[in-house]
Amino acid sequence: MACYWTYTLYPEMAPGVWTLEIRINGQPSGSHSFEIVGTGTTPEKPPAEVAPKPPSVDDIFRAVMPALVSIRRFDADGKRIDTALGFVIQKDRIATAFQAVDGASKLELEFAGGQRVRTEEILAWSRVGDWAVIAANSGDSSVLQQGDPTSVGVGERLIVFNVEGGSKVIGGVDISGKRSVAGYGERIQFSPSIASEAAGGPVLDSQGRVMGILGGSVTPGARFVPERMSISPALGISTHSLNAVTPVSAIPKQLPDKPTSLGVLVSSGVLTAPLSEMAGLLYVGTASEPIKQASDPLPRDVCEFSKRDKQVWVISEWLKKGKVSRGMFSAKVYDEQNRIRVAVQPKKISLSSTPARSGFSFEPATLTPGLHRIDLFWDERPVWRTFIRVND
């Protein structure tokens, strides 16, 4: 038998020895081997995907700085009382902590490029959530990308901007806990604590995405203004340390178009009223007993009370300074939701060159457990603020 076959060689055929086997009636009748070379090369395996290199802290610092905003609070007399941070969360929308705008008559925003904007309005807010959004022309400021706060785990290291010596510095904090506070929402705890001037700044992940807003206060109205407030060291530590974060997801995606004035928010109880200057008010303290005689020393300041205590006494000391010699003195006690719990009726006070004391009291049994704010008023203007804590 003689026969032949013709095969076409294709580049896809693997080089090597090939064997042609001939069968007749299914039985092997012979075979012929031949070698194929030069038809192609063995395809290379695709290179493994390389994960993109995460940005360095320096990269994040340079990327985020143009989006940071300094926020300054001004009181009813136009005096600057406080400084905090914010950041551009959308074009012409600046996110910050509620405590950064609370108790202000005016706000001043300074952007990274030096542009300054003054406003008496805020666009959106949450007193219990400790966040606020201000509408202002953000110019060429960059907008920070938002991340997913639910992905933050305890033990993870995140990045924050702190304020040291008036300068913004970047550093890491460790997530030490997560909790849900009844009536206030989700909070992320971190350590170590940082300066209160950093409140309102962004908390960033390793990619530079915003996870939350520094602040997370659950004691609204307690941001400390030392010139016109008195607070015991124990309460000061618990109310003024900055070691919490409000998740950025608390801010709605759709924000209102029309802002609301700070004055309207004060009158409606959303904002804490700004304090006015009263040089003649020397001292305010809280005590469990009254002063029996004018010559007695000032009583020991007490900040913790039980609902079983008979009275909470508020002692103030006044002196004539300048032209103010008489006026109407009153006071109000507020709970953590800024609701009036006690109102002290106005009474006339005459000031002289000799320090004079005035006091009033109320029953703590009428108050709910928690932190309470006491505002003193002169001619219907709040001029001093102090705090107490009531326990069961």
Residue-wise pLDDT for 152-200, tens only, equals 999 999 999 999 988 999 999 999 999 998 889 999 999 999 998 999 9
Query: Is position 107 within any domain?
Result: yes
Domain ends where: 274, 298, 321? 274
**Whole-Å CA distances, 356 to 229, 285, 317, 322, 351:** 19, 14, 6, 16, 7
Which has more pLDDT, 300 or 343? 343
For residues 332 and 236, state if they share a domain.
no
**187, 119, 229, 366 alpha-carbon torsion, rounded to 10°:** -60
> Which of 69-73, 183-187, 219-223, 355-359 comes out lowest in average pLDDT?
219-223
Query: Is position 47 within any domain?
Result: no
Domain ends where: 256, 274, 292? 274
**159, 161, 163, 167 alpha-carbon torsion, rounded to 10°:** 120
For residues 140 and 93, state if they share a domain.
yes
For residues 152 and 264, state if they share a domain.
yes
For residues 188 and 291, state if they share a domain.
no
Q: Is the pLDDT of residue 275 over 60?
A: yes
For residues 181 and 293, state if they share a domain.
no
For residues 260 and 122, state if they share a domain.
yes
For residues 93 and 204, state if they share a domain.
yes
Residue located via tokens 């932190």? 371
The letter for the amino acid at 53 is K
For residues 31 and 70, state if they share a domain.
no
For residue 314, count other CB atoms closer than 10 A to its CB.
23
For residue 331, count other CB atoms closer than 10 A to its CB.
21
How many independent structural domains does the chain possess?
3
For residues 228 and 367, state if they share a domain.
no
CATH number at residue 363: 2.60.40.1930
For residues 254 and 318, state if they share a domain.
no
Q: What is the CA radius of gyration of the chain?
A: 34
Query: Is position 355 within any domain?
Result: yes
Mean predicted lDDT score pLDDT of the chain: 88
What is the reported pLDDT for 144? 96
CB 279 within 8 A of CB 322: yes
Q: Is the pLDDT of residue 39 over 80?
A: no
Domain ends where: 274, 295, 328? 274
Give the residue numbers spanning the domain of 229.
54-274
Query: Is position 73 within any domain?
Result: yes
The residue-averaged pLDDT of 57-86 equals 93
For residues 223 and 369, state if they share a domain.
no
CB 7 within 8 A of CB 20: no
Query: Is position 49 within any domain?
Result: no
Q: Is the pLDDT of residue 304 over 60?
A: yes
What gap in Å lies between CA 176 and CA 36, rounded to an integer?
67
Q: Is the pLDDT of residue 92 over 90?
A: yes
**Per-residue burial over 250-289, b = 16 or more CB atoms within 10 Å of its CB, e = otherwise:** bbeeeeeeebbebeebbeeebbbbbbbebebbeebbbbbe
**Per-residue burial over 216-235, b = 16 or more CB atoms within 10 Å of its CB, e = otherwise:** bbbbbbbbeeeebbbbbeeb
Highest mean pLDDT (candidates 7-11, 204-208, 271-275): 204-208
CB 369 within 8 A of CB 307: yes
Query: Is position 48 within any domain?
Result: no
Q: For the whole prediction, is pTM greater than 0.85?
A: no
**Whole-Å CA distances, 269 to 123, 152, 201, 337:** 16, 34, 25, 9
CATH number at residue 239: 2.40.10.120
In tens, the pLDDT along 121-156 reads 999 999 999 999 999 999 999 999 999 999 999 999
Residue located via tokens 């996870």? 211
Structure tokens at 171: 């550093």
For residues 146 and 259, state if they share a domain.
yes
